[in-house]
């Protein structure tokens, strides 16, 4: 076994990323406070070629030093847009054919491992505020609530971890 060097990883340029086919997934960050979580979402979105990120409400936007620290340049490759009102964003995406999936603990949540996306279905994943979760207005518009099963005392994961787990799950079901 040999650790690969950066030049052996087959990385594509930002321009190549912009032109490359994306997975039919977008993210909505619903009032996410931590700029590190925002940067991590960008980095994960870049890793799996997510088509776009919507930053809503109080969620910070690039350029910002704290976002850049974890995004490592992914704010340049991944398309993004800011919008003040999270429910308006998800309503518009739903009208454009996206299935709205909130990652939240609800009385109707589906355990992540039981969710299988359909090929060619457009998905919008919504991740909420670190304290209050996904806003009620967004939950009202949602088609599905996904929950990552947990057995510890917290029943709470950092948003950056949730983004990685959920996108990996979808990516592995659709493309591997």
Number of domains forming the structure of the chain: 1
Range of the domain at 100: 14-147+156-175
Any domain includes 124: yes
Place 176 in a pLDDT band, splitting at 50, 70 and 90. Answer: confident
Domain of residue 115, CATH code: 3.40.1280.10
Whether 1 maps to a domain, the answer reads no
What are the tens digits of pLDDT across the range 69-119? 999 999 999 999 999 999 999 999 999 999 999 999 999 999 999 999 998
Query: In which region does residue 133 sit, left (phi positive, over 0), alpha (psi from -120 to 50) or beta (all else)?
Result: left
9 found inside a domain: no
pLDDT tens digits, residue range 9-63? 999 999 999 999 999 999 999 999 999 999 999 999 999 999 999 999 999 999 9
CA of 87: how far to CAs of 42, 51, 78, 101, 133, in Å? 21, 20, 22, 13, 14
- Does residue 115 form part of some domain? yes
pLDDT at position 175 over 90: no
Mean pLDDT of 154-164: 95
Look at residue 5 and tell me if it is in a domain: no
- Structural domain contains residue 85: yes
Q: Looking at residue 6, what is its pLDDT? A: 86
Structure confidence by residue, pLDDT tens digits, 120-134: 899 999 999 999 999
How would you write the chain as a 3-class SS string? CCCCCHHHCCCCCHHHHHHCCCEEEEEEEECCCCHHHHHHHHHHHHHCCEEEEEEECCCCCCCCHHHHHHHCCHHHHCCEEEECCHHHHHHHHHHCCEEEEEECCCCCCEEHHHCCCCCCCEEEEEEEECCCECCHHHHHHCCEEEECCCCCCCCCCCHHHHHHHHHHHHHHHHHC
Query: Region 149-156: what's the mean pLDDT?
Result: 93
Residue 56 lies in a domain: yes
């Amino acid at each position: 076994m040999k650790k690969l060097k950066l030049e052996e990883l087959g990385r594509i340029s930002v321009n190549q990323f912009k032109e490359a086919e994306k997975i039919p997934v977008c993210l909505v960050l619903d009032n996410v406070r931590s700029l590190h979580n925002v940067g991590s979402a960008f980095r994960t979105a870049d890793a799996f070629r997510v088509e776009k990120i919507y930053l809503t409400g109080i969620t910070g936007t690039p350029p910002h030093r704290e976002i850049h620290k974890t995004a490592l340049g992914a704010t340049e490759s991944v398309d993004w847009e800011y919008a003040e009102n999270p429910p308006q964003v998800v309503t518009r995406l739903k009208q454009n054919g996206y299935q709205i999936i909130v990652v939240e603990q609800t009385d109707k949540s589906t355990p992540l491992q039981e969710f299988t996306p359909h090929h060619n279905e457009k998905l919008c994943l919504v991740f909420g505020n670190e304290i209050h979760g996904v806003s009620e207005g967004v939950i009202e518009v949602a088609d599905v609530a996904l929950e990552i099963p947990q057995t510890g005392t917290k029943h709470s994961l950092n948003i950056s971890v949730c983004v990685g787990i959920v996108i990996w799950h979808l990516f592995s079901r659709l493309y591997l």
